[in-house]
Amino acid sequence: MNQRQFFGTDGVRAVAGEFPLTPLWVMELGAAAGEVLRARNPRASVVIGKDTRQSGDMLEAALAAGLTSRGVNVTHLGVLPTPGVSYLTRELQADAGVVISASHNPYQDNGIKFFGATGEKLSDALEAQMEAQMSQLEGLSPVTGVEMGSVTNYTEAERLYASFLRSQAPDLSGLRIAMDCANGAAYRIAPRIFQAAGADVFAVYTNPDGRNINHNCGSTHLAHLKQLVQSGAYDLGVAFDGDADRCLFVDSRGNEVHGDHMLLLAARARGERSVVTTIMSNMALEVMLQESGVALERTAVGDRYVHERMQAKGLHLGGEQSGHILFLDVSPTGDGVLSALLTLKAMRQLGTTLDALHDELVMFPQTLLNVRVKDKQAISRDPQVQAAVRAAEVQLSGRGRVNLRPSGTESLVRVMVEGQDAEEIHELARHLVSVIEGIGD
C-alpha cells in the first residue's frame, strides 16, 4: 500500500503554520522519518536545506528536533537551491536530504520535500511508510544519551555546490546578462557562478527579507526582467524561481525563451535522439525535433513524470515548458542554474543566439478552455466525448493535437486544442466544450 495523505507529487506543501505545516506536525514527521531511516541504517544522517521564506527556520528546527529525537544526525546546509540539497545529499553520503521550500509559491506557503541517498526524490513507498509511522510514535521506546542524534551546521555547502556548477559552466566572456534571482535560494550563488564564468552580470531581486520571495519577480513574473533587457544594456536575461530548480530566459528584444526553446537547443547541441516532455509542450517543438531526427515523448504534466519516463527509457534530456529541464547524465534532479549554464553552453557551441532560437521555433496557436463539471474523471471516459475528440483529431490529421485533462485542484476539465490555424482550433475547442457541457443535461 502506497497510500499517502499528506505527500503530493512535490512533497508536503501548505500555508506555513496551518495544518499540516505546524511545528508539532513537522516534528512528528521528523520523528517518523527518523524511524524509517534508522531501520535501514542505525546511525542514519540527514541534510536539510531551505529557501529564504520567513517560516523556514521554524520548520527546519521542528524537523531537526523530530529526527534527532529518534537518533538521526542532522546537518544544516542553510539557504541553498533545491538541486544543491540534492547534490550535497550525495556528496556528504547522507541517507536522505530535505528541502524546506514551496518553490514558486508566495512566501506564506512552505513545503517539505525528501531526497533519497542518490539525490533523487524519495519513493512513494517510503513516503507512505513515513506517514504510517506517524500514527505509531507513542509506542516507541525513547532514544536517550549517546543514542540521540546530533545537529551540526555545515558552512561549506554553498562552496561545494558552486564548485560543481563551475565545472559545468562554459566561457561566458563578453556576455551581458540581466538576472532575476526571485529573492530566493539562488540570490547569492547564481550571480557569482555567472560572473566567475566571465559574464557581465546585473542581478536584481537579491535581497530576501523572508517575505519577498517570488513577489512580482522570478521566473513566473518576467515583466521587470523584460524591461531591463529591452533597455539595450544586456544581451539576454535569465530568471530563476524561489528554490532555483527552474529557469526561463528573455532574448535581447524582451521575448520569453522557455523550456520548449531550451529543449530544442540542447537536443541539437548534445545530439540527442529522444527527448521527453509533457502534454503542455507546443507541437512546434515536436515538428522541429522530428525535422532534426529527434523523437519526442510526452508525459502527464509534472517534472516527476518526465523524470520517470527518462529513467525507464534511459534518456538524458527532458523537461517542461515552465523551465524545469532535466539533464540526467549531469544531475539527478532539475536545476535552474545548471540548466541556464548548459543552455548558454549549447548556444555558444552552435554559434546561435536566443533571438534566433525564439524566431525559429514559432509556436502553434493554442486554445485552452476550462469546463466546470460534476465528475472530472468520468468525462474523458464518456463515449460522446471520446467520439468528439476522435473527430477533432481526424480533422486536424497531423496538423494539430487535442488534449483533455482534469484539473488537479478544481472540478474542471481543461480542453486544449493546438494547431496551425487559430480559427479552426478555436472552433474545435468550443465544440468540445459544448459536448462536455451537454453531458448529463
Terminal Cα-to-Cα distance of the chain (whole angstroms): 39
Q: Is 103 annotated as a binding residue?
A: yes
Q: What is the pLDDT of residue 348?
A: 98
Q: Cite the residue boundaries of each domain of the chain with CATH code 3.40.120.10.
A: 12-154, 159-360
Q: What is the 3-state secondary structure (H, E, C) of 188-208?
A: CHHHHHHHHCCCEEEEECCCC
Rounded to whole angstroms, how far apart are CA atoms 255 and 354? 9
pLDDT at 3 over 90: no
pLDDT digits (tens, 9 = 90+) for 84-108: 999 999 999 999 999 999 999 999 9
CA dihedral sign, ordered 340, 193, 103, 233: negative
pLDDT band at 410 (very low <50, low <70, confident <90, very high): confident
User: Do 108 and 136 form a contact (C-beta atoms < 8 A)?
Assistant: no
Q: What is the pLDDT of residue 104?
A: 93
Q: What is the pLDDT of residue 2?
A: 63
Angle formed by the axes of helices 56-69 and 23-40, nearest 10°: 40
Q: Is 382 annotated as a binding residue?
A: no
Q: What is the pLDDT of residue 377?
A: 87
For residues 116-144, give the mean pLDDT: 93
- Enter the DSSP assignment of 142: P
In DSSP terms, 178 is beta-bridged to: 202, 237
User: Do 292 and 333 form a contact (C-beta atoms < 8 A)?
Assistant: no
Listed residue (405, 387, 406) closest to 395, CA to CA = 387
Rounded to whole angstroms, how far apart are CA atoms 53 and 60? 11
pLDDT digits (tens, 9 = 90+) for 251-269: 999 999 999 999 999 999 9
Higher-pLDDT residue of 438 and 358 is 358
Rounded to whole angstroms, how far apart are CA atoms 84 and 96? 13
Q: What is the pLDDT of residue 139?
A: 87
pLDDT at 148 over 60: yes
Q: What is the pLDDT of residue 264?
A: 98
State the fold for domain 159-360.
Answer: Alpha-D-Glucose-1,6-Bisphosphate; Chain A, domain 3 (3.40.120)
Q: Is 322 annotated as a binding residue?
A: no
pLDDT digits (tens, 9 = 90+) for 18-73: 999 999 999 999 999 999 999 999 999 999 999 999 999 999 999 999 999 999 99
- Enter the DSSP assignment of 146: G
State the fold for domain 12-154.
Answer: Alpha-D-Glucose-1,6-Bisphosphate; Chain A, domain 3 (3.40.120)
Amino acid making up residue 24:
L
Residue from 55, 101, 103, 339 carrying the catalytic annotation:
103
Show the cell assigned to 270: 548534445
For residues 184-198, give the mean pLDDT: 99
pLDDT digits (tens, 9 = 90+) for 298-338: 999 888 899 999 999 999 999 999 999 999 999 999 999 99
User: Do 87 and 331 form a contact (C-beta atoms < 8 A)?
Assistant: yes
Q: Looking at the whole model, is its pTM more than 0.75?
A: yes
Rounded to whole angstroms, how far apart are CA atoms 128 and 105? 25
In DSSP terms, 50 is beta-bridged to: 79, 100
> Annotated catalytic, 103?
yes
CA dihedral sign, ordered 353, 356, 361, 367: positive
Show the cell assigned to 438: 451537454
Q: Is 163 annotated as a binding residue?
A: no
Rounded to whole angstroms, how far apart are CA atoms 318 and 277? 6
Amino acid making up residue 123:
S
pLDDT at 440 over 80: no
Angle formed by the axes of helices 259-270 and 336-349, nearest 10°: 50
pLDDT at 170 over 70: yes
Q: Cite the residue boundaries of each domain of the chain with CATH code 3.30.310.50.
A: 366-438
Q: What is the DSSP string of 262-300?
A: HHHHHHHHHT-SEEEEETTS-HHHHHHHHHTT-EEEEES
pLDDT at 1 over 60: no
Q: What is the pLDDT of residue 441?
A: 52
User: Do 259 and 296 form a contact (C-beta atoms < 8 A)?
Assistant: no
> Strands of 247-250's sheet, edge to edge?
200-204, 176-180, 236-240, 247-250, 256-257
Q: What is the pLDDT of residue 55?
A: 99
Tracing cell 525507464 back to the chain, one arrives at 312
When mean pLDDT is compared across 20-29, 288-297, 375-384, 405-414, the lowest value belongs to 405-414
User: Do 211 and 258 form a contact (C-beta atoms < 8 A)?
Assistant: no
For residues 277-284, give the mean pLDDT: 95
- Enter the DSSP assignment of 321: T
Q: What is the pLDDT of residue 272?
A: 98
Average pLDDT over the chain reads 96
Q: What is the pLDDT of residue 411?
A: 84
Rounded to whole angstroms, how far apart are CA atoms 70 and 63? 11
pLDDT band at 409 (very low <50, low <70, confident <90, very high): low
Domain 366-438 sits in which CATH superfamily? Alpha-D-phosphohexomutase, C-terminal domain (3.30.310.50)
**CB-facing half-sphere around the CA of 74: CA atoms within 13 A:** 26
User: Do 412 and 437 form a contact (C-beta atoms < 8 A)?
Assistant: no
